[in-house]
Structure 1
Amino acid sequence: MHPLSTTCHTAFQILARKHALCAVMLFAAMCCRPPAAQAEPLKTVVYASGTAVPSTVILVAQEQGYFAREGLEVRIENCIGAFRCMLDMMEGKAQFSSAGDLAVMFNGVDRKDFVILATYSSSTSLLKLVTRKSAHIEKAQDLVGKRVGIIKRSASHYFLDNFLLLEGVEPKSVEHVFLDQEDMSAALQNGSVDAISTFEPVAGKQLAAIGKDGFEVSVPPYNLSTHLVAMRKTAMQSRTETIKLLRAMDRAVQFIAAEPKKAKAILARRSGMDAASVDAVWAGSQFKLVLDPSLQVTLNSVARWARNENLISDTQIPEFSNFIYPEPLNAAKAKGVGK
């Protein structure tokens, strides 16, 4: 063989061996590489929930063992008001929480890192307008020039303005007094305000605290929806637990439809409401696990009200479809209850 050919042949052999060695090393690296880091399964799911009628879904799911059947240990943390519940979730005190339209809308203006997983309750009997007989308020027109206690940027605020507009009263003709929930009863009793825009289950207690001078103004029904929300990261990294939670809630919804008396008894015992109070608000409540397209319309309507009240600007109104995350609910429904 020509010396040059011998040299080239040897060079090719060396090169081939190097390529083979590289291939072996690459294969070993691919085979032995540790799997991508995944979120640890949630050992205990913390759910921040209010104590009103919508909480029946969560309470039933826990008491009937539906969470346990899914392999979930769920701890319910009570919170007063949708904003407080959602704040607990965003601060990491809970993985999931209940939330109303107002809480979703205002938090959606400020941040983009949470999602709506489902709507599980709607009620037309939760919001109340409570006053004193001595204030002589029986209808919307009687509120002109009066002081009404409201929780700013909440359903309490939105409900009052909608009631006034519906009855032909300019909201600005009524003095809005911003209060914390825990201060409303005292403010009404000591005369700091003439009425309060409030909600169950505290409305009944506030009315009772006034005694014989207490009076509930008749108002048109206002539909208040309750949603299941979570941080986007939680819903995605803990997808399995999220689906299980939704499936357990779906079982609870079916139990409530089949056994309303038992469901009401669970709510009364766990919330501290008496049977009469539960009955009073139950008739206007519906329980169903859905993600209705009309939710975006509702949130946009609330956003327009907030803009008109100078609570947010035009540029702050978000695209609410970006917050709706239907995949876990679709997966839960696809498997079906009891399957």
Structure 2
Amino acid sequence: MRVLGIFFVSILSYVVACDHATKPNTKAAKSAPPITIAVSNTPLSAPFFIAEKMGYFTENNLKVELVRFDGGVKCFDALINKEVDFATASETVVMFNSFQRTDFSVLASFVESDNDVKLLSLTPEKYRQFDHLAGARLGIIKGSASEFFLDSLLIMYNKTHLPITRVYLTSTQLMPALLDNQVDIISAWEPLGYNISEQIEQSPEIINSRGLYHLSFNLIGLKQSKVDTNRKLALLKAISDATIYIHKHPKQSQELLSQVLEIPSSQLEYSWADYTFRLSLSNALFSNIQTQSQWAIDNQLVPKENRVDFRQIFDRQLLETFNNKEAGW
């Protein structure tokens, strides 16, 4: 009986030990410093706002602070200046910065849109024929997705020879310049399409360019990060949980974002169907960045000799580990 008792005590100790091993160390997670993430004030950042409001960070034993900025460039700068642990930014921001430094990594893309950047006008019917762009004044943001999109359109329609006037503006100047007749057309991303549609009775989009340019927003971190791998994986899990919620509850997600961003729900409805929320690091994203980098070199926006192998800034291993863990492998 003494031997049998020792046997059962041993079995019980083993079960308890295994149970503790499989449970996350919540005490350690709570004592760890909060993870700070620079997020752009845009619906594209929806998974982070959803994760915060629905408690997915907490459920994954994370303490997270979202630091909001206007635009991915400011988010990236906050990361490089070590004001935050992670940042969200478009692939264009990633591309331009890769010519200056390689001490950061793209951990995952969390949203894509193939209809976010458009050519917009107050008189769109005037430019339905692409030849009619001849002599037009186009407001664009130099060295950005705005200019890349315009050049891609001109190349695709074999209209690079058209005499157009490029008026370089900041993102905040685009819409006022259009409304004040300083330019005829702007190459811009949402929500300017929605904002202009509120000013005129028809769609301001000149041409259906869906699928021509794929915008993505990505989670970026420094290679030398104080956040360990386990917490990075937990962060991806929280974002994944948020994307699942977005797919299952689109209306509730839009209502929540409307409150967080303080924008009308009609603005979210305008472009919501264009967004694809999912965690990925696809070959399409890699090719997109390569294409944009060649465009930047051709237009002398970056020094050719600083060109890098983009595989250096894609952390595929982390996302693969996460996917394998989710699949139970």
TM-score by length of 2: 0.81
The answer to whether structure 1 residue 205 and structure 2 residue 195 are counterparts is yes
Q: Structure 2 counterpart of 1:218, which letter?
A: I
Match status 1:316 vs 2:306? yes
Given residue 252 of structure 2, which amino acid in structure 1 is its aligned partner? K
The residue that corresponds to 1:217 in the other structure is 206
Give the CA deviation at 1:331. Answer: 3.2
Residue of structure 2 equivalent to 1:249: 239
The count of residues paired between Structure 1 and Structure 2 equals: 298
Task: Find 2:273's aligned residue among 267, 279, 283.
Answer: 283
| Of 214-223 and 254-263, the range deviating more from structure 2 | 214-223
**Aligned residue type for 1:228:** L
Q: Which amino acid aligns with 1:60?
A: I
Change (3 A) 1:122 1:188: same
Does structure 1 conserve the Cα–Cα contact (< 8 Å) formed by 2:137 and 2:166? yes
Question: Contact 2:193–2:204 (CA<8 Å) still a contact in 1?
Answer: no
- The answer to whether the 8 A contact 1:53-1:281 is kept is no
Find the aligned partners of 2:194 and 2:32 in 1 and give their Cα distance: 37
Show CA shifts across 1:248-270 (max 9, x none): 00111111222222222222222
Equivalent position SS for 1:283: helix
Q: Is the 8 A contact 1:100 1:227 kept in 2?
A: yes
What SS does structure 1 have at the residue aligned with 2:230?
A: helix
Per the alignment, in what secondary structure is the counterpart of residue 43 of structure 1? coil
Q: Report whether the alignment pairs 1:268 with 2:291.
A: no
Q: Please say if residues 99 and 303 of structure 2, whose CA atoms lie closer than 8 Å, have aligned partners that are also in contact.
A: no
Question: What's the % identity of the aligned pairs?
Answer: 25
Q: For the structure 1 residues 68 and 183, does the alpha-carbon distance in structure 2 shift closer, same or farther, using more than 3 Å as the test?
A: same
| Corresponding position: 1:229 with 2:246 | no
* Maintained 8 Å contact 2:197/2:203: yes
**1:68, distance to aligned residue in structure 2 (A):** 1.1
Q: Where does 1:55-204 land on structure 2 (aligned, <5 Å)? A: 55-133=45-123, 136-170=126-160, 173-204=163-194
Where does residue 292 of structure 1 map in the other structure? Answer: 282
Alpha-carbon distance in 2 for matches of 1:191, 1:238: 52
In the TM superposition, residue 201 of structure 1 has moved relative to its aligned partner by 2.4
Letter in structure 2 aligned against 1:219: N
Secondary structure of the structure 2 residue equivalent to 1:152: coil
Letter in 2 for 1:311: L
Using the TM superposition, give the Cα deviation of residue 97 of structure 1 relative to its aligned residue in structure 2, in angstroms.
1.4
The equivalent residue for 2:6 is none
SS in 1 for 2:263: coil
For 1:171 and 1:113, locate their aligned partners in 2 and report how far apart those are by CA, in whole Å. 40
Matches within 5 A, 1:30-45: 43-45=33-35
C-alpha distance 307-173 of structure 1, shift in aligned 2 (>3 A): farther
TM-score, with length taken from structure 1: 0.79
| Contact 1:247-1:337 at 8 Å conserved across structures | no
Cα distance in 2, alignment partners of residues 312 and 251 from structure 1: 38
Residues 89, 95 of structure 1: 8 Å contact kept: yes
With over 3 angstroms needed to count, the CA separation of the structure-2 counterparts of 1:171 and 1:251, relative to structure 1, is farther
Where in structure 1 are there 5+ consecutive unaligned residues?
A: 1-40
Name the CA distance, whole Å, in 1 between partners of 2:299 and 2:224.
Answer: 33
Is the contact made by 1:42 and 1:238 (CA closer than 8 Å) also made in structure 2? no
1:119 partner amino acid: S
Equivalent position amino acid for 1:220 in 2: S
* CA distance 1:132–1:214, shift in 2 (3 Å): farther
Query: Residues 121 and 171 from structure 1, CA distance in 2 versus in 1: closer, same or farther, beyond 3 angstroms?
Result: farther
Q: Does the aligned pair in 2 maintain the 1:114–1:323 contact within 8 Å?
A: yes
**Unpaired stretches in structure 2, ≥5 consecutive residues:** 1-30
Task: State the Cα distance separating 1:116 from its structure 2 match.
Answer: 0.3
CA distance in 2, matches of 1:337, 1:263: 26
Distance 1:290 1:105 in 2: 17
Larger radius of gyration: 1
Given that residues 121 and 227 in structure 1 are in contact (C-alpha distance below 8 angstroms), is that contact kept between their aligned partners in structure 2?
yes
Q: CA RMSD in A?
A: 2.7
